[in-house]
Amino acid sequence: MSLDNKILSVRKEGLYCEAGDFYIDPRGHTKRAVITHAHSDHARVGHRNYLCSDPCKSLLQTRIGSKNNIESIPFGEKKAIGNALVSFHPAGHILGSAQIRIEVNGRIWVVSGDYKPQKDRTCESFELVPCHGFISECTFGLPVYQWQPEEKIHQKINHWWDKNKKDDHGSMLFAYSLGKAQRVLGGLDSNIGPIYAHSAVHSFLDHYRNAGVHLPEVKKVNGEKNFSGAIVIAPPAVEDSSWTRKFRNVKIGFASGWMAIRGQRRRKNFDRGFVLSDHADWKGLVDVISGTGAEIVKLTHGNGDALSRFLTEEGINTSVLNQSVFEREELE
């Protein structure tokens, strides 16, 4: 599918810019990969050269290995790649996450990657980038998804943890290891009790602290037996593992946008679900897409049909890209 004079096209590896001969968040093996952020469904091993934002670089090195050829540039700085001018602009998804602005002969397209316009104390604030064409994720592209301010969610998490402590229970909260876990940790009240994290979470903490993000003291889980009164932050990937089964007398919670649907929590047998997402909700998607002033909008990663119909009725030329090319991030 050709996108606006071949500035962008969809190939089996992903989005391709012919003018600059590079791919954005590709799979497979390519000569040059321009990366929106360091989540594993966007930053993959196997490419010859990588380009990302400055704050993303250390996270990307941890994710794919420091021996890879990784170049980075500051947010807002333009770099000529072939006949294209490329720049990174904060996406507000996780630390270092970027929207990629591509300009060719005065025509501007923006690939948003994953983004979140809501406030987040652990990453750069989202920047609205005017453009002619906009490629938007729509992970939560249904009106049922409406986020509360993160302060309210942090209050709920702390209240749950404190109640569990008073009932002589430990607390275990599942949150994606990069981004969500640090966002949860940034809002925890360390006066309630000790804070622990799985090693997959712990490995990213110094990157956040080095970027100036305030996080409480966090201990790595290392053979302790009694977690009464403590809280443990762990990635969802270990939910059904032997690592998790060794914990006794703990209440289980999950922080995710998917918890907006009650059935998700019941099917997983979580004691508590907290609706905290690092993606835009319905209103955020509509506001951002409208705010870019884009003449053409392409949707990826999620509930595209409903959002496409709504935007089309609003007079915006919107369609859904081939979803088989894109993987939606649910579990890392």
Q: How far apart are CA 190 and CA 216, in angstroms?
A: 7
Task: Say yes or no: 247 and 292 in one domain.
Answer: no
Task: Say yes or no: 202 and 313 in one domain.
Answer: no
H helix intervals, the chain: 54-64, 150-166, 180-186, 199-202, 205-210, 242-245, 262-268, 282-292, 304-313
Q: 299: domain CATH number?
A: 3.60.15.10
Task: Say yes or no: 160 and 287 in one domain.
Answer: no
| DSSP code per residue over 188-221 | --TTSS-EEE-HHHHTTHHHHHHTT------EEP
Residue at 310 is within a domain: yes
Q: 163: domain CATH number?
A: 3.40.50
Domain assignment of residue 295, given as a range: 2-145+279-325
Task: Say yes or no: 175 and 134 in one domain.
Answer: no
Task: Say yes or no: 22 and 166 in one domain.
Answer: no
Task: Say yes or no: 36 and 160 in one domain.
Answer: no
Task: Say yes or no: 187 and 121 in one domain.
Answer: no
Residue at 106 is within a domain: yes
* Domain termination site, one of 274, 290, 308: 274
Residue at 331 is within a domain: no
What pLDDT tens digit does each residue of the chain (332 aa) get? 456 767 999 999 999 999 999 999 999 999 999 999 999 999 999 999 999 999 999 999 999 998 899 999 999 999 999 999 999 999 999 999 999 999 999 999 999 999 999 999 999 999 999 999 999 999 999 999 999 999 999 999 999 999 999 999 999 999 999 999 999 999 999 999 999 999 999 999 999 999 999 999 999 998 777 899 999 999 999 988 889 888 889 999 999 999 998 766 555 678 999 999 999 999 999 999 999 999 999 999 887 999 999 999 999 999 999 755 555 544 43
Task: Say yes or no: 126 and 15 in one domain.
Answer: yes
Split into its structural domains, the chain has a count of 2
* Domain termination site, one of 233, 249, 274: 274
Tokens 């956040």 locate to: 208
Task: Say yes or no: 67 and 171 in one domain.
Answer: no
Task: Say yes or no: 265 and 314 in one domain.
Answer: no
Residue at 330 is within a domain: no
Q: Between 304-313 and 282-292, two packed helices, what is the crossing angle to 10 degrees?
A: 50
Task: Say yes or no: 25 and 171 in one domain.
Answer: no
Task: Say yes or no: 114 and 248 in one domain.
Answer: no
Could you tell me which residues come within 8 angstroms of residue 199 by beta carbon, excluding any fewer than 6 positions away?
A: 220, 221
* Domain termination site, one of 274, 290, 315: 274
Residue at 288 is within a domain: yes
